[in-house]
A and B are shown apart, each in its own frame.
Chain A
Amino acid sequence: GAVVSQHPSRVICKSGTSVKIECRSLDFQATTMFWYRQFPKKSLMLMATSNEGSKATYEQGVEKDKFLINHASLTLSTLTVTSAHPEDSSFYICSARYRGGHPYEQYFGPGTRLTVT
């Protein structure tokens, strides 16, 4: 089946620093990738949609200069949290949809837990 990985699985960083999270589709080409964040005991909130080779589309209220998304290849998308603050601490999950796949299916990565101290 379609497998999506994320790296790192957990990261702790100091306030003011930047951290990069990678999302990879391991056995398929992902034409579209999605980034979500999830607060404890809350549901997933879509942050942005990225298509390979084009700029990401951000949801309302998500700062594009703070959450930099790059989808440089069909198997890799990255989310960089710039100048991180404690309120950015969250569980970040990516998902991917593959070319030729069922239009309704997204495959989720295992998530990255970010803690900003």
Chain B
Amino acid sequence: GQNIDQPTEMTATEGAIVQINCTYQTSGFNGLFWYQQHAGEAPTFLSYNVLDGLEEKGRFSSFLSRSKGYSYLLLKELQMKDSASYLCAVRDGGGATNKLIFGTGTLLAVQP
């Protein structure tokens, strides 16, 4: 079956660094995505990893280890506006389908 796990909630302090982990067990794998979602809004794309290693994009970085079925999202220099849910999603097939399987989501609260 498909299983994507993330911590349910995390709390961090403004200006700090936080790492949100994601582990997955899926029937197929063709890339892992991280999305940010504020309450009542649509998810917005943050990052995409298909090869092992670290992808850095400004304050956000994402890491992937395919052999371990593991990824993390690293947020640096946290700001209050970073308070949101962070969704890990695995693309389980190739071609035109592009189906994403979402994890449970991690609700991050950034405190002053």
B60: Cβ under 8 A from any A Cβ: no
B-side contacts of A4, CB under 8 Å:
42
The interface residues of chain B, by DSSP majority, are classed as: loop
**A43 and B102 contact, CB distance less than 8 A:** yes
Q: Determine the chain A residues whose CB is within 8 A of the CB of B103 once the complex forms.
A: 43
B98 at the interface (CB under 8 A from A): yes
A17 to B50, CA, bound (A): 44
Number of A-B contacts (CB under 8 A): 54
Is A29 on the interface with B (CB-CB < 8 A)?
no
B 27-80 contacts with A by CB, 8 A: 31, 33, 40-45, 48, 50
List the A residue with the shortest CB-CB distance to B101.
A46
- Name the interface size band of chain A: 20 to 34
Which positions in A face B, CB cutoff 8 Å?
A: 4, 31-32, 34, 36, 41-46, 49, 51, 91, 93, 97, 103-106, 108-111, 113
Top 10 A-B pairs ranked by shortest CB distance?
A: A108-B42, A43-B105, A44-B102, A43-B102, A110-B42, A43-B104, A108-B43, A104-B48, A104-B31, A97-B98
Q: B38: shortest Cβ distance to chain A, in Å?
A: 11
Give me the interface of B with A, judged by CB distance under 8 Å.
31, 33, 40-45, 48, 50, 87, 89, 91, 94, 96-105, 107
B98 touches A104 (CB 8 A): yes
Report whether A108 and B48 are in contact in the complex, using a CB–CB cutoff of 8 Å. Answer: no
Pairwise interchain contact A111-B96, C-beta atoms closer than 8 A: no
Question: Could you name 27 residue pairs across A and B whose Cβ atoms are closer than 8 Å?
Answer: A4-B42, A32-B96, A32-B97, A36-B102, A42-B104, A43-B102, A43-B103, A43-B104, A43-B105, A44-B43, A44-B87, A44-B89, A49-B97, A49-B99, A51-B96, A93-B42, A104-B48, A104-B98, A105-B45, A106-B45, A106-B98, A106-B100, A108-B42, A108-B44, A109-B42, A111-B41, A113-B40
